[in-house]
C-alpha cells in the first residue's frame, strides 16, 4: 500500500512562485515597524474577524473594569475603617462646637462688644 502511494506523482502546487515569495519577504523587511503594526490592526479587518473583536473587547473590559473594581473596593475599605474608628471627629471640614468657639473672628468680635 505504501509502495503504491510512493509511486504516485506529487501534486501540482498552484500557489505563488519562489520569486514572488522572496519579493514579498524583501518588501516586508523594508517596511517600518509602525506600518507593519498598523497594517495588522486595520479596523475593517478587525471588525470582520469576530474572534479578534471579542478577544479585544474582553481584554479592554478587563483592563478597564478590574482596576476600577479594585479601587472601589479599596475606597470602600478605607471608608469603613475611617467610620469604624471615628476619624471624622478630627476632620477639618467638620463643623464642631469647638471650632466655632475657638474661631478668632467670633472670639475677638464678642469681646470687643
The residue with cell 479592554 is 60
Indicate the average pLDDT of the chain: 76
What the block records as the C-alpha cell of 78 is 478605607
Report the pLDDT value the prediction gives residue 20, as an integer from 0 to 100.
93
Q: Residue 72: is it exposed, middle or buried by C-beta count within 10 angstroms (0-12/13-18/19+)?
A: exposed
The residue with cell 504516485 is 8
Report the pLDDT value the prediction gives residue 92, as an integer from 0 to 100.
62
What the block records as the C-alpha cell of 7 is 509511486
Rg (CA), the chain: 36
Question: Does 22 score more than 90 pLDDT?
Answer: yes
Report the pLDDT value the prediction gives residue 32, as an integer from 0 to 100.
78
Summarize pLDDT for 38-64 with one digit per residue, the tens.
776 676 666 677 787 788 889 888 888
Amino acid at each position: 500500500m505504501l509502495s503504491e502511494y510512493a509511486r504516485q506523482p506529487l501534486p501540482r502546487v498552484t500557489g505563488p512562485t519562489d520569486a514572488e515569495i522572496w519579493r514579498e519577504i524583501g518588501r516586508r523587511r523594508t517596511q517600518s515597524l509602525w506600518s507593519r503594526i498598523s497594517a495588522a490592526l486595520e479596523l475593517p479587518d478587525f471588525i470582520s474577524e469576530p474572534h479578534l473583536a471579542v478577544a479585544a473587547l474582553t481584554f479592554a473590559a478587563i483592563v478597564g473594569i478590574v482596576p476600577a473594581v479594585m479601587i472601589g473596593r479599596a475606597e470602600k475599605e478605607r471608608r469603613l475603617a475611617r467610620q469604624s474608628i471615628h476619624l471624622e471627629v478630627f476632620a477639618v471640614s467638620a463643623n464642631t462646637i469647638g471650632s466655632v468657639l475657638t474661631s478668632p473672628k467670633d472670639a475677638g468680635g464678642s469681646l470687643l462688644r
